[in-house]
Chains A and B, each alone.
Chain A
Amino acid sequence: MPLPRPTVRDALSVSLTVGVYGVAFGAASVAAGFSVLQTCLFSLFTFTGASQFAAVGVVGAGGVAASAVAAATLLGTRNTLYGIQMAPLLGVRGPRRVGAAHLTIDESTGVALAQVRRGTRAMRVGFWVTGTGVFVFWNLFTLAGALGAHAMGDPASWGLDAAVPAAFLGLVWPRLDTGFLRVVAASSMAFALILTPWLPAGLPIIATTLVAVGFGWSER
């Protein structure tokens, strides 16, 4: 049976677009003090962008390892919810299930769900092609970004120290499509800044989970 072409086209364009973000991650990771090898291992094995950015972000801000891992893990919980949605759709077992789990990220889930009108097979193809495509491009561009930043030296001289927070801003921006979410974002920024002089570096970032709990506690 031939592959559903519109689905493959969607999947590949998302893969390439998202994969390019890998340059920003590779550069951010090296700027935070990780080696090129460690940076590439992040993208190969953690393989979930926001968590990777958070881990190197907390280390870059001077946080301890536990804070970095905690921030990354909190951001990774949404992949569990994606897996719950994808597992019955994919219906795979054994090693293929392990592969499906590793490829369960924002983009593969998003493209799969967007194919709902094209049928179950298109949804599955959307998941696998997007997941594999993002994996390939994300890792290639991570390496490019890491090598580039490594060659640059002093991060401030090239503006890398501003590129990293700008990347976070670019990541959160598309999510702020309602007034409520913009209030959550502004409150989190204020909360993190207020806590900054009082807590060890990195902890104010994790503490903003309380902002999410506060705003999400009751129905709006």
Chain B
Amino acid sequence: MTMWIVVVATSVAAFALKLAGHLVPQRWFANARLQRINALVPVALLSALVVAQGLVTKTHVVLDHRLAGLAAALAALFARAPFPVVVVAAALTSAVVYHVH
């Protein structure tokens, strides 16, 4: 049930936000501070998701095979690898460490 709530509520909210941009007067969103903050929200949330998914189990910081995967991803990004290579490098490295342990 939780899953369905997430799917439906996320979809409704996402569409409402998109439609709002096409319907509301432009000046409502002209505030410079609002625009600056809005531009930083994706960076903040996506960064938090990296550590929340890679270094956290429930409510504890846990350093395990996923950290090795993230390190591989970071190395791939520094080497300017395309997105799929980054993800596959992380998966392979993590899986190897997981099975060795």
Contact = CB atoms under 8 A, between A and B. Distances in A.
Interface of A: 20-21, 23-24, 33-35, 38, 41-42, 45-48, 50-55, 57-62, 64-65, 68-69, 71-88, 97-98, 100-102, 104, 156-173, 175-176, 181, 184-186, 188-189, 191-193, 196-197, 199-202, 204-209, 211-213, 215-217, 219
Contacts, number: 316
Nearest to A41: B7
In this complex, the interface size class of chain B, counting residues with CB under 8 Å from chain A, is: 35 or more
7 contacts: A51-B10, A55-B6, A78-B38, A169-B86, A175-B46, A206-B45, A207-B48
Nearest to B83: A170
B91 A60 contact: no
B56 A97 contact: no
A111 to B, nearest CB: 17
A102 B18 contact: yes
Contacts of A165: 49-55, 66, 69-70, 73, 90
Contacts of B61: 193, 196-197
Given A34-B7, A170-B73, A192-B52, A159 B98 contact: yes
Contacts of B66: 161-162, 165
